[in-house]
Amino acid sequence: MVKKSSLPRIDSKFIVIALSVLVLLYFIVLPLGVLIYDSVVVDGKFDISSYAAVYSQSVNLKALTNTARISILVMIFSVLITFPMAWLIGRTDLPGRKYFRTILVASYMIPPYVGAIAWTQLLNPDVGYLNELFKTLFSLSAAPFNIYTEGGLIWVLTLFYSPFAFITISRAMEKMDPTLEEASRIAGASPLRVLWDVTLPLMAPSILAGGLLVFIGAGSCFGIPAIVGMPGNIEVLTTRIVSFVYMGDDAGIRNATTLAVSLMVLANGLLFFMTWMMGRKDYTTIGGKSTRPAIVELGRWKGPATFFVGIYAFIAVILPLGSIVATSLMVSISKGLKLDNFGFDAWLPVLENSQYLDCIWRSLGYAFIAACIGTLLSLFVAYLSTKTKIRGRSLPDILVMVGGSTPSVVIALALIITFSGNYGLNLYSSMWILIVSYLVKYMTMSVRTIAASLSQVSSSLEEAGLNSGAGWLRVCKDIIMPLVAPSIVAGWFLIFMPSFYELTMSNLLYGSDTQTIGVLLFELQTYADTQNASVMSVIILLIVMVGNLILNKVSKGHIAI
């Protein structure tokens, strides 16, 4: 008689999911945990004196207050601008609504540091295109605007992070239950009264969520503060952290660690606080079948509303893009915007420069590898959270969210400290540390996209495959993946595109042989090579737009970068 083994059967599903979770723990939890540990432990003893030492320096304290104040102002301005535009585009008979939506969302595709370069070209106090135009038109002796001020920094951050709020608010507004609004109109309330008393309170969760995304994005941004703020001596936490890392000594790394933990606590603490607060309130409306909210007729306000949205779209998207393209096509920058000064002369040296081409291909390669690995991990994490009943199944999803909400500069510093040979791996200055950083930062949207699709797939199909004798990996390959293929492709692009043009993490993690296109562009702008920087910016924008068109096609218009 053969005694049956009492050990549980270990199948491929358990192995794959367990390995995915271990990867997340090793590359997300460990680095962030090491970063926090190093900020409060010195020579094996608990010691927070580094915080007192760092913030006793006025420049660091100023950077902290600047970060908080600027991020709050950017959040407020973004919501004040995008809420009325989301309402006009999504809920009224505004002419050309579809085109306005496309233009406004397009600024979401533009890498923030490219936008910063564009506005330095437009509002540079010495040679800015707009400043020169205003000086000529109004016979001014001095430039009316200076982009290198706190106001200029807030302006650029608002323009390029307000799409976060616009997308969040507009999608929620178009899907909200119209019952209460219709009841208010029947009771005799005017459209503006309905908007103030009914729509605005119902939209509170989406407004707060959109504002929070803007706050975290603005506070975590490095490219815009470095290009716009630092020339005007305006420091924020991200620029101070990078400055300390560039020092290269132990004191610099320790100071950077202290500031990085402060920024991480600020971003993630606010995120989880808002999630907890929103979870304590009920914003559900009572109703039967959901219907599309009624379109509000603007009447005599249609013209002014169209003008308002059109002017903002022109300023936020068309003007900066036009500046970048125009600069890239100039034969000589010193001659200015003249018809006989345009051509492709500046493009030929860039396209023939092996260093530039290597950076482009390198960035495409790193983004491709990160997207492939990240999409595979995202599939297993999404499957775990939506298709299993395992206790703690939501933990990997939370880990991915923590990585996505952690500022890029914090992730980069954590990876430097952890994976420089101290914890089993030495990835410093290699391509793999760049790829890991992209995975940690950009997997969130991929997981969300794939999870949403998996939740709509019936479990009976998987069970039928398993009952037929197929292994779980075979079922996953032949049944699950084909059914959610569009979401998998969309998730791949959601990792690939931001990884391709990423700047902040790449700027801290690249080595002599791993320079990326974002780092190259930042260096060109830093060393005042404006024309080559513009050409590279246009190349980045063209690749991003092509990728976005593919993503839009695959997702049937539901997902875009």
Q: Give the tokens for residue 206.
A: 């989406």
Cα–Cα distance for residue pair 497/546, rounded to 1 Å: 10
Mean pLDDT computed over every residue of the chain: 83
Residue with tokens 């703020």: 229
Q: Give the tokens for residue 412.
A: 């980069």
CA angle 499, 501, 507 (to 5 degrees): 90
Cα–Cα distance for residue pair 78/558, rounded to 1 Å: 23
pLDDT at 514: 93
Cα–Cα distance for residue pair 216/67, rounded to 1 Å: 10
Collapsing DSSP to helix, strand or coil, 501 comes out as: helix
Q: Give the tokens for residue 377.
A: 């991990």
pLDDT digits (tens, 9 = 90+) for 170-209: 777 766 666 666 677 667 676 677 777 677 777 777 788 8
pLDDT digits (tens, 9 = 90+) for 431-454: 999 999 999 999 988 888 888 888
pLDDT higher than 60, residue 220? yes
Please check whether residue 260 is in contact with residue 241, taking contact to mean a CB–CB distance below 8 angstroms: yes
pLDDT higher than 90, residue 481? no
Q: Give the tokens for residue 505.
A: 């993490």
Collapsing DSSP to helix, strand or coil, 351 comes out as: helix
Q: 284 falls in which pLDDT band (50, 70, 90)? A: very low
Across 398-420, b (16+ Cβ under 10 Å) vs e yields ebbbbbbbbbbbbbbbbbbbbbe
Nearest to 106 by CA among 166, 157, 147: 166
Measured in whole angstroms, the distance separating CA 455 from the mean position of its chain's CA atoms is 25
Please check whether residue 524 is in contact with residue 328, taking contact to mean a CB–CB distance below 8 angstroms: no
CA distances (Å), origin 447, targets 161, 205, 374, 375: 22, 22, 9, 8
Please check whether residue 546 is in contact with residue 559, taking contact to mean a CB–CB distance below 8 angstroms: no
Which runs of consecutive H residues, i.e. helices, occur in 388-528?
A: 395-405, 408-418, 431-454, 459-467, 472-475, 481-483, 485-501, 504-509, 517-526
Please check whether residue 434 is in contact with residue 509, taking contact to mean a CB–CB distance below 8 angstroms: yes
pLDDT digits (tens, 9 = 90+) for 523-549: 988 877 888 889 999 998 888 888 777
Q: 405 falls in which pLDDT band (50, 70, 90)? A: confident
What predicted TM-score, i.e. pTM, was given to this entire model?
0.85
DSSP annotation of 331: S
pLDDT at 6: 46
Cα–Cα distance for residue pair 245/411, rounded to 1 Å: 13
* Number of H-type helices and E-type strands within the chain: 29, 2
Q: What are phi and psi of 92, to 5 degrees?
A: -125, 175
Q: Give the tokens for residue 52.
A: 């007192």
pLDDT higher than 60, residue 230? yes
Angle (deg, nearest 10), helices 204-220 and 58-91: 140
Give the dihedral sign, CA 330/332/335/340.
Answer: negative
- Determine how many CB atoms are found less than 10 A away from the CB of residue 92: 17
Please check whether residue 437 is in contact with residue 505, taking contact to mean a CB–CB distance below 8 angstroms: yes
Residue with tokens 């507009």: 170
Q: Give the tokens for residue 72.
A: 């709050």
CA distances (Å), origin 45, targets 38, 48, 51, 391: 10, 10, 15, 35
